[in-house]
Chain A
């Protein structure tokens, strides 16, 4: 037998073993549909804490009597649904998670810490999974004031946060493809909007509709678009940090925008902006009734600012 034939045979054996092991893993999956919902009843405000390890995550507003409606499709051989509900007076606290349990691997620490309401999601701590088949869909009542905190290691994240009554939003996502969108104005002013992403592709859309006082955005690496379009009704500040990649910031023409840039190796393009000392400002900065003050801290990033 020639050496080439031997090599081919070894490669074939390796491929077969790999295929069989993959098939065995797929066959061991045990899919479940899970739903947890609750009517509004006497709940006047709500805090939601959501941790989702893997799959596709969607969030939207919903009509009807339900305060929240969470539906998940998960592989029960690897993940477990968790939920916790507390109510003090008219204030509800909801914890939701689909993550690896103590019997399933390395997400256990995050899951077990989940009872701590003040837990802060760090990008490096987010659970990761390699399956794209799981799903988590969360629908929220439009009129109940909600403070939302989401940690998602999901492969795809689509959050439509418009037309809700959000008092604060904190999203940390390690998804390879993530978008946070405010298609309609938030029904109340939001004190703080925090978005952290390790996503390869991240889109923040309609951020003007979020009605935030202060935005904090952090991205490690990737392709990021932040669109501040929307119905602006008050001044706001934004702190944007990014390590490596491409950042496109779109701002509406009707508001005054100032950008303070702190970066060394950044390619910066802001065609319709004027230099004002160390800052870049839109021509209508002095005359505009609403102002957005952006502090930009970028590493090796190609930054493009557009007015639309």
Chain B
């Protein structure tokens, strides 16, 4: 099955598949009541520890086991008898003890999973002997096999515990293990939800190919083939055979034994998958998608390094400083702060030089623009806004009219100069207001100066101060991120507003060439229009 990256393309098809599948599964619900009953099997258990005792010759051959639940077991071949947990179980012959000794030699010191696998193989060997040998041997191996099943919780055979029901379109559907209670409608809901979840990552699923549902501990032995998809709803499925389709894992544990083969995909929306020691083959994709219930902070990524990497040369040392230690973090914060301060300072120096040149060469114009911003702020801002809005259309017109191309650079340059002149004029105005403001503290009075050079410098300091303050807050890192963000926002928005007003003031005053400030306090001029002059025509007579 091939995954497709575009969810929408699959959506319709996916819904159709799910509907058809669910209808089909619903039809089988009635037939499920005809399950073949069988004995309840034990829960599978893990081997936590094991130890082997092998005496020379035909002496004692013992396996000691401690299971995950803490219980201990001993299986010993000694003096012609098999003892399990100290109880004489059955006699044995030389062939059986040879097999047992080979098993112990092979798995001495191995981990619990390996020992378990060996015991399962030995269990299969017992089954074969029971079918081939005499009645006495069959009884002995059956007794020993039952004891091993008791310890390992292994199902005797899988075939006895599968219930086959008629599925949709004549397809047979197997429920495994068949002897346990199975809430079909409830599991149907879970299956439906899982399929819907997989559809969100663009996975096509043909439910009509569903051949088996496993809802509790179960084993599919080597040599057995499931023709179609298999869904694991719960329990532990030990797969040593083949599945000619996809395997859905909704919950429980899927264990792939050596030799297992899945021709389709392994699709997981829950539970666990144990891919064993690499001897299993999955032809398709291994895909999973889980929602995480709680949002948790993600730890810094530290990729696992295989132990074989110990000899990797650590060229350069910067990667070694990725640990976010306090001093490292503090250093980065200080560097950020210094970077921001340097930016603000550089901007200040550039604008200050420009401002001082403007004062020197065009003080009158600068003051006119500055006064206009101060006294006609709303008009200036409106004009600046209109200028900004019209800039692009005007530029387009100049570009479209080919004959005006030579003007374009001058137009752009002029607008740029107007913007800078406007900003410096705003700084001049701000400095002038600062100078005229009565200061609460005596020491601030020493700063009071009244000339345009001072106005420009102090005004620029005032305008750039918020940027510098925001930069300084980097020192305290993330704790004041919100405050720093607010300051940055206010600084940027304020700069835009003041810059727009300055730009508008330059436009209004034609670069300071005329004053447009209205003196509202002055006496209104007498209107001498002719229409209001009363002329007594008789006077001339």
A-B interface, 10 closest residue pairs, ranked by CB to CB distance from nearest: A229-B315, A82-B5, A183-B312, A37-B286, A31-B292, A35-B288, A84-B5, A227-B316, A65-B278, A33-B290
On whether the beta carbons of A33 and B286 are closer than 8 Å, the reply is: no
A residues 216-273 in Cβ contact with B at 8 Å: 225, 227, 229-230, 250
On whether the beta carbons of A115 and B318 are closer than 8 Å, the reply is: no
B residues in contact with A179, CB < 8 Å: 318-319
Q: Which of A55-63, A121-129, A190-198, A282-290 contacts B (4 or more CB under 8 A)?
A: A55-63
A residues 132-158 in Cβ contact with B at 8 Å: 132-133, 135, 137, 156, 158
Contact of B482 among A15, A81, A137 (CB under 8 A): A15
Taking the closest CB of chain A, its distance from the CB of B287, in whole angstroms, is 5
On whether the beta carbons of A85 and B281 are closer than 8 Å, the reply is: no
- B268, B283, B285, B300 — most chain A CB neighbours (10 Å): B285
On whether the beta carbons of A31 and B291 are closer than 8 Å, the reply is: yes
User: B233 in the interface, Cβ–Cβ < 8 Å?
Assistant: no
Taking the closest CB of chain A, its distance from the CB of B481, in whole angstroms, is 10
A residues in contact with B201, CB < 8 Å: 34, 80-81, 83
B residues in contact with A26, CB < 8 Å: 295
Known: A65-B278, A82-B5, A115-B5. A32 touches B289 (CB 8 A): yes
B residues in contact with A18, CB < 8 Å: 482, 486
Contact of B5 among A56, A114, A162 (CB under 8 A): A114
On whether the beta carbons of A85 and B285 are closer than 8 Å, the reply is: yes
User: A38 in the interface, Cβ–Cβ < 8 Å?
Assistant: yes
User: A106 in the interface, Cβ–Cβ < 8 Å?
Assistant: no
- B8, B284, B319 — most chain A CB neighbours (10 Å): B319
User: B534 in the interface, Cβ–Cβ < 8 Å?
Assistant: no
Contact of B288 among A33, A95, A158 (CB under 8 A): A33
On whether the beta carbons of B303 and A137 are closer than 8 Å, the reply is: yes
- B3, B200, B304 — most chain A CB neighbours (10 Å): B3
User: A101 in the interface, Cβ–Cβ < 8 Å?
Assistant: yes
A residues 45-102 in Cβ contact with B at 8 Å: 56, 58, 60-66, 73, 76, 80-86, 95, 97, 101-102
User: B6 in the interface, Cβ–Cβ < 8 Å?
Assistant: yes
On whether the beta carbons of A85 and B290 are closer than 8 Å, the reply is: no
User: A211 in the interface, Cβ–Cβ < 8 Å?
Assistant: no
On whether the beta carbons of B315 and A56 are closer than 8 Å, the reply is: no
Known: A34-B201, A81-B201, A158-B301. A229 touches B283 (CB 8 A): no
B195-209 CB mask vs A (1 if < 8 Å, else 0) is: 000001110000000
Closest to B275 in A: A65
Chain B, interface size category, equals 35 or more
Which residues on B are within 8 Å of A, measured CB to CB? 2-8, 200-202, 268, 275, 278, 281-292, 295, 297-298, 300-301, 303-306, 309, 312-313, 315-316, 318-319, 482, 486
List 17 A–B pairs whose Cβ atoms lie within 8 Å, in order of A's numbering: A14-B486, A15-B482, A31-B291, A32-B291, A33-B289, A34-B201, A34-B289, A35-B286, A36-B3, A36-B287, A80-B201, A85-B2, A160-B303, A179-B319, A183-B313, A203-B316, A227-B316
Q: Other than the known A35-B286, A39-B281, what 5 A-B pairs have Cβ atoms closer than 8 Å?
A: A36-B286, A82-B5, A83-B201, A137-B303, A229-B315
On whether the beta carbons of A63 and B288 are closer than 8 Å, the reply is: no
On whether the beta carbons of A76 and B291 are closer than 8 Å, the reply is: yes
On whether the beta carbons of A63 and B318 are closer than 8 Å, the reply is: no
Taking the closest CB of chain B, its distance from the CB of A58, in whole angstroms, is 5
Closest to B297 in A: A133
A residues in contact with B295, CB < 8 Å: 26, 29, 31, 133
Closest to A38 in B: B285
Contact of B303 among A60, A101, A227 (CB under 8 A): A60
A158-B2 Cα distance, complex, nearest whole Å: 29
A63-B277 Cα distance, complex, nearest whole Å: 12
